[in-house]
Structure 1
């Protein structure tokens, strides 16, 4: 059974169970009401207003149960729809918060999000030990998402081997620091649906909630 089928089946089961519970509550109430009416004191019969009030309470409870069932079904349907849409992202690349940089065959790409425009922006590529291998001066940049590429050449002219590296961004405007959110590029290999929503499983970023994705390629 596929993930989407499982979700749909679960929604159907939950709805049926909720409806059965609501029906049972209604049946119990009606039986109790009939019993009360049969055993009422002829000299002091039940007040019509009291009966009407009890029926109104039953109607309210039943309505709430039906509303809950509808909301549960809508929620499950929405989750299934999200899963189907996310499945279309398999094989594509996404940009999401992260500081990893995957170098393969002399090519790596990453990005960052600037809170404000800058007049100085520098990207530093680092190895696993935190040593700076290469610095790229990107100059002035506009606020928003900024992409960069690295060909694997380190300071001094050598070529770095394929693998995973880290990067940092130093940005400023008029000498004042500008916040930069690091964004890593990852390839989506599969999609998972859980309590926290739709999760994209990638090679560089690991598991990423679809709501954190900044850009899709």
Structure 2
């Protein structure tokens, strides 16, 4: 009995190609994995890995994923995991910094700070110390500081003679021109000098008391100063007692 060859020269590759049917739900599987892995969340490392495994499970065995592409995806996964770890570390550092800042801020309440301003609340029973910034000039300058009360009435003039350029200290003993102690309250300090026959306004730095501190996550620490309101801590020049 003879046997007839009916394969007609068909190769094993052709047989596999004809017998292999890509899963009808390949795209659905990946879509489902994406939906399950991510939901409404940002794609994370666990979601990325789940999608990668789903992609491998549904690849065509006759046309598998290129090794280079697979390695690239693994490298992406490694980078994603590293970024996630870095984000966690930065968050921990930020939380620790916030706690440290809160502790430092609480120690400022009741203390005096020096800021750039022309107005402050003065306890006239004590001598108030302030500073004025004198511009550079060829000759020493005479600086005049006029003190006015909350109503704009002149209280005292403080004259500083022969001042060189730079920061110069001045004091007010809380008394008016008649030598009487002025009432405690809000006062304005206007500093001027004359350069080339022109009157020039100068910056003054005055003390103010911290009444409270306002902390808002992600924003600058704000100090609530007596008579001045909120001032950013970056504006503080010196912290006193």
Q: Give the total of aligned pairs.
A: 196
2:44 maps to 1:25: yes
Equivalent of residue 78 in structure 2, options 59, 62, 68: 59
RMSD: 2.7
Once structures 1 and 2 are overlaid, which stretch shifts more, 161-170 or 127-136? 127-136
SS for the counterpart of 1:148 is strand
Q: Is the 8 A contact 1:201 1:208 kept in 2?
A: yes
Higher-Rg member (1/2): 2
2:192 maps to 1:185: no
| 1:1-217 matched pairs, under 5 angstroms | 25-107=44-126, 109-114=128-133, 116-117=135-136, 118-172=140-194, 175=197, 180-194=202-216, 195-217=218-240
Shift in Å, 1:85: 2.4
Equivalent-residue separation in structure 2 for 1:106 and 1:167 (angstroms): 18
Equivalent-residue separation in structure 1 for 2:98 and 2:195 (angstroms): 43
SS for the counterpart of 1:196 is coil
Between 1 and 2, higher relative CO (CA 8 Å, sep ≥ 6) is seen in: 1
TM-score by length of 2: 0.69
The structure carrying a bigger helix percent of its residues is 1
Equivalent-residue separation in structure 1 for 2:229 and 2:109 (angstroms): 14
TM-score by length of 1: 0.76
